[in-house]
Amino acid sequence: MHIMEGFLPDPWWQIWFLVSLPFIIVGLYRINKLVQEKREVLPLLAVAGAFVFVLSSLKLPSFNGSCSHPTGTGLGAVLFGPCITAVLGLIVLIFQAIFLAHGGITTLGANVFSMGIAGPAVAYLIYKAGTRAGANTYATVFVAAALADLATYVVTSIQLALAFPGATGFVGAFTAFAAIFAVTQIPLAIIEGAVIALVFKYIVQLKPEILTRLNLLSESTIQKLREAAA
Amino acid sequence: MYEVLEDFARTNDLREVSTGLKLIIGLSSILLSVSSPGLIAPLLVAVSMSTAILFLAKIPAKVYARLLLIPVTFTLMSITVILFITGGGEVLFEVPGLPLTITTGSVNLAILLLARVFGGMCSLYFIALTTPMTGIFDILRKLRVPAVFIDLAMLTYRFIFILIEEVGEIHRAQEMRLGYGRFRESVQTFGMLSGALFIRTWESGEALVLAMDARCYDGKFDVPDDARPISALSLAAVLIYCFAILSISLSTGGLTLV
């Protein structure tokens, strides 16, 4: 759900840059520390960023024929945590603006907040809560990715409603934006959840060492998941 | 589409012009469009940027026209909302039974926003179509953006092109085996595509680590930059252009269509 270049008026695009900035700084600090400890992290983070970019530039299968793209950041958040994902999100959004004309330069701050920060944070929290509660891993990943998508779209609606409250005030404007975007975003969130859960399943089946190395799943959980599939 | 944009950035007729200058033109045009209170300035920006794209950079008109259609969906949806929820001025149209009205105030706001988006998008396309990403990395380095960010961005950039090829191959193979026949199937197939993509990228990332280690990678990339000097004349021309648009934007601020 990218906000186009030129759409956010004057105080708002600067405000969203300021809001996103601390997350980016923390993320950069974390990446710097990680890279100093383990140099091989950098290419792997880059790969994750490129994956998010390519995934989000593919068209998802959808019912209503609308042009819908997955965000892919849910997976990044589950793998690396929200602050690092914010930096990946920033890089991906810059490339999307310059290669694909999705989003823009002035709206970068707002888009980073909705897609790189709010969505991943939701995904991360749900994933953590789910694993702590001992829920089914795939179900947790599905819910995390789907709700991350929904969070992104709710935040975008809030951003637009704050900038254009109109005659009805913030709540009315928010309802209007949320209602019109819901048409494409709710089916999209469900499909994205399913797709990301499938991705997770393939990783568990084919290359589980990625997950154990990032301390996401223990050997025993993976063993259990693989047995359940077999 | 992505590879096309970057291809043009590397082959257009403005590629020899200094990256810094192109970024100054593009970014200041975007800022001028976004902050303009009236619709004349963004439209002028759109016209001048499009002229630069079509006649100076010599991007084919057909390609450019197709690019301009990309933002249409989002813009139409949001503009519709703005038309109905903002008020002010006379009521032009009312939905019977619902609190939805279109007023002169909302029409004016919608038109202003359309003009801004149009101006901003044309300037964004100017950057996208004339400036290769590698030049932008040089500029970022000069602006003292943290090295780890630039390295990460450069590696991401490299992997994007590798991945796009892989996606194309896998997608074609799936299409040939009727993977996208029914809706359920296509979700399944798409998940398979994304999963395979992730694992393949991860493996190529690990291969890159090995290759870089073998070449004594110490956590830093040194890339020679090929910056070109900005001539005083062209800088002056750009500044005159920016001031002209700024003064037009200030003097036509109150002008509205309805």
B38 and B108 assigned to the same domain: yes
What pLDDT band is residue B223 in, cutting at 50, 70 and 90?
low
Q: What are phi and psi of A15, to 5 degrees?
A: -60, -45
Do the Cβ atoms of B202 and A32 come within 8 Å? no
Lowest-confidence segment of A7-21, A140-154, B189-203 by average pLDDT = B189-203
Whether residue B13 is found in the same domain as residue B66: yes
pLDDT of A66 reads 43
Q: A43-96 pLDDT, tens per residue?
A: 878 888 888 888 777 665 544 434 456 677 778 888 888 888 899 999 988 888
Least confident of A151-160, B87-96, B184-193, B233-242: B87-96
Query: Which CB contacts under 8 angstroms, 24+ apart, belong to A92-97?
Result: A92/A49, A92/A52, A92/A53, A92/A56, A92/A116, A92/B156, A93/A2, A94/B153, A95/A53, A95/B133, A95/B156, A95/B157, A95/B160, A96/A2, A96/A53, A96/A56, A96/A57, A97/A5, A97/B124, A97/B128
pLDDT value at position B134? 81
Q: To the nearest whole angstrom, how far is the Cα of A163 from the nearest Cα of chain B?
A: 11
B 65-104 residues with CB < 8 A to A:
67, 70-71, 73-75, 77-78, 80-82, 84-88, 99
Contact call for A47 and B205, based on CB within 8 A: yes
Look at A40 and B209 and tell me if their CB atoms are within 8 Å: yes
> What is the arithmetic mean of pLDDT over A28-35?
87
Structural domain spans, chain A: 10-229
CB contact under 8 A, A164 and B109: yes
- What angle is formed at CA A202 by the lines to CA A67 and CA A89, rounded to 5 degrees? 50
Is the pLDDT score of B2 beyond 70?
A: no
Tokens describing residue A205: 């089946």
How many residues does the structure list for chain B? Answer: 258
Same domain, B118 and B236: yes
* pLDDT at residue A67 in the model: 47
Which residues in chain A (138-177) have CB-CB distances under 8 A to chain B?
A: 160, 164, 166-168, 172-173, 176-177
What the block records as the tokens of B161 is 């092109």
Cα separation, A143 vs B127, in Å, equals: 38
Instruction: Please check whether residue B48 lies inside any domain of the structure.
Output: yes
State which residue of chain B sits closest to A95, comparing Cα positions: B157
Spatial neighbors of A173 by CB under 8 A, at least 6 apart, are: A160, A161, A164, A165, A166, B81, B85
pLDDT on residue A70 = 66
Q: What is this model's ipTM?
A: 0.83
pLDDT for residue A3 is more than 60 = yes
Phi, psi torsion values for A5, nearest 5 degrees: -55, 135
The pLDDT value given to residue A60: 57
The top-level CATH class assigned to A10-229 is mainly alpha
Q: Is residue B174 part of a domain?
A: yes
Are B53 and B115 contained in the same domain? yes
User: Which residue from A minimizes the CA distance to B156?
Assistant: A46
Q: How confident is the model at residue A25 (pLDDT cuts 50, 70, 90)?
A: very high
Smallest CA–CA separation between B164 and chain A, in Å?
7
Chain A residues lying within 8 Å of B213, measured CB to CB: 39
- Binned at pLDDT 50, 70 and 90, residue A203 comes out as confident
Of the two residues B133 and B221, the one the predictor is more confident about is: B133
Residue B253 clears pLDDT 60, i.e. is over it: yes
Q: Are residues B58 and B96 in the same domain?
A: yes
Q: Residue B234 sits in which domain range?
A: 2-131+228-251
A45 touches chain B (CB under 8 A): yes
Q: Out of B125, B201, B213, whose CB is closest to A47?
A: B201
Cα distance between residue B252 and residue B237, in whole Å? 22
The nearest CA of chain A is from the CA of B128 a distance in Å of 5
Nearest by Cα to B190 from B211, B171, B204: B171
Look at residue A82 in the predicted model and tell me its pLDDT: 86
Distance CA A2, CA A160 (A): 11
Statement to judge: residues B113 and B50 lie in one domain: yes
Cα–Cα nearest to B99, from B87, B111, B113:
B87
- pLDDT above 60: residue B99: yes
Is the Cβ of B56 closer than 8 Å to some Cβ of chain A? no
Query: What share of chain A in percent tops pLDDT 90?
Result: 12
Is B222 inside any structural domain? no
Does pLDDT of B100 surpass 60?
Answer: yes
Give CA–CA dist B122/A168, Å, rounded.
32
Please report whether residue B258 resides in a domain: no
pLDDT digits (tens, 9 = 90+) for B160-188: 888 888 888 888 888 888 878 788 888 88
Contacts 24+ apart (CB under 8 A), B108-112: B108/B256, B108/B257, B108/B258, B109/A164, B109/B82, B110/B79, B110/B82, B110/B83, B111/B39, B111/B256, B111/B257, B111/B258, B112/B38, B112/B39, B112/B256
Query: Which of residues A42 and B74 earns the better pLDDT score?
Result: A42
DSSP H helix total and E strand total for chain B: 10, 2
- No. of helices (H) and no. of strands (E), chain A: 10, 0
Is A180's Cβ below 8 Å from some Cβ in B? Answer: yes
The verdict on B23 and B100 lying in the same domain is: yes
Task: List, for residues A129-168, the tens digit of each pLDDT value.
Answer: 988 888 888 889 899 988 888 888 889 888 888 888 876 7
Q: Which of residues 146-205 of B touch A (CB under 8 A)?
A: 146, 148-149, 151-153, 155-160, 162-164, 167, 180, 183, 186-188, 190-199, 201-205
Question: B100 lies in a domain?
Answer: yes
Q: What's the domain count of chain B?
A: 2
Contact flag A32-B148 (C-beta cutoff 8 Å): yes
Q: How far is Cα A161 from Cα A153, in angstroms, rounded to an integer?
A: 12
B46: exposed, middle or buried (Cβ count in 10 Å: 0-12, 13-18, 19+):
buried
| Any domain includes B257 | no
Same domain, B127 and B236: yes
**B60 and B16 in one domain?**
yes
Residues B70 and B155 in one domain: no
- Both B197 and B162 in one domain: the answer is yes
Domain-embedded: residue B139:
no
Nearest to A176 among B30, B85, B136 (CB): B85
Name the phi and psi angles at B140, rounded to 5. -60, -40
Per-residue pLDDT tens digits for B142-151: 888 888 888 8
Res B136: pLDDT: 85
In a domain, B157, yes or no: yes
Q: How many CA atoms lie within 13 A of B223 on its CB side?
A: 18
Q: Which of B17, B19, B48 is nearest to B32 (CA)?
A: B48
Check residue A17 and give its pLDDT: 92
Distance from CA of A133 to the nearest CA of B (A): 26
- The pLDDT of B103-118, averaged and rounded, is 84
Supply A21's token pair. 């900035």
Closest CA to B152 of A153, A74, A52, A41: A41
Q: CA A201, CA A222: separation in Å to the nearest integer? A: 10
B125, B193: one domain:
no
Q: Which range has the worst mean pLDDT, A89-103, B61-75, B85-99?
A: B85-99
Chain B residues within an 8 Å CB radius of A2 = 74
Looking at residue B32, what is its pLDDT? 87
Q: Is the pLDDT of residue A18 over 90?
A: yes
Considering only CA atoms, which of B183, B214, B57 is closest in space to residue B130? B57
Burial (CB count <10 Å: 0-12, 13-18, 19+), residue B247: exposed
From residue A158, give the alpha-carbon distance in Å to each of A153, B74, B210.
9, 16, 45
